[in-house]
Amino acid sequence: MVRRLRGVMKREFKKPSRAKRGWAVQEWKKIILGFSKGRTGQHNALVVMLCALGPFRPVAATNITVKYEIRRNGAGKPCVRYLGGSGIWVERSDPRWPRPYIVVHLKRDKNVNASKVRFVPIPDVCMGVRPVRMLEDYLVGVGPPSGGKLLVAPHGASGFRNTRYTACCALFKRMHNTAFPNLGDDRVGGGTPPKVDARVDVACRAFPAKNRGCLRMEYSRQTSV
């Protein structure tokens, strides 16, 4: 038993010297509202939002794929239609939850493999932001390539990079230093945004896995800032 517990600790915990701290709620609010409205600003805000509210490690978030098409609704406004095989979509027909919410089919992360995938819900209002609106505004307005990585970086006026986004750590540090130029970025890195919403997972972890999705969203809604 002791040997097994030591093995789990080695797999799932970092050395204290490498641990990253989470942003306080006040820091999160100022950082998430500090992005520009352009293509790059919307992309960067989406990166931070997904890493914080998944919560996802950067490598997991940047490997999310999206398949979709843009159509016009009855009023002539553009709307998103998610296609089969997409790794992220908005669920609007769940009888257990009256509001739309994001679902992420997580295929790549620590403790995730082909036989052990995760479906992660993100509510439409959480921690002072509107994730569903952020996602679909990005898909409609910026338009990353369907069938590719959702968070591939925009390039130029209308193009995109052809490689997976890998600048999460630098982005988190830069946004923190912009919002709080006098605090420094010690222990701010790839593990910082996932710890913002850690209280949600801790609160819901005691419940059976099949019930955690709705419980997590309800808890997020009640504790939104």
C-alpha–C-alpha distance, residues 97 and 147, integer Å: 28
The string of pLDDT tens digits covering residues 121-134 is 999 988 888 999 99
C-alpha–C-alpha distance, residues 187 and 124, integer Å: 30
Instruction: Quote the pTM value.
Output: 0.78
CA distances to 11, 203, 207 from 212, rounded to whole Å, are 24, 10, 6
pLDDT confidence of residue 10: 53
CA distances to 11, 101, 108, 155 from 220, rounded to whole Å, are 28, 12, 24, 34
Task: Report residue 77 as tokens.
Answer: 């406004």
The string of pLDDT tens digits covering residues 187-203 is 676 666 766 654 444 44
CA distances to 79, 120, 140, 155, 217 from 72, rounded to whole Å, are 6, 28, 11, 26, 29
The string of pLDDT tens digits covering residues 83-110 is 999 999 999 998 888 899 999 998 877 7
Strand partners, 126: 129
pLDDT confidence band for 143 (50 / 70 / 90): very high
C-alpha–C-alpha distance, residues 10 and 107, integer Å: 22
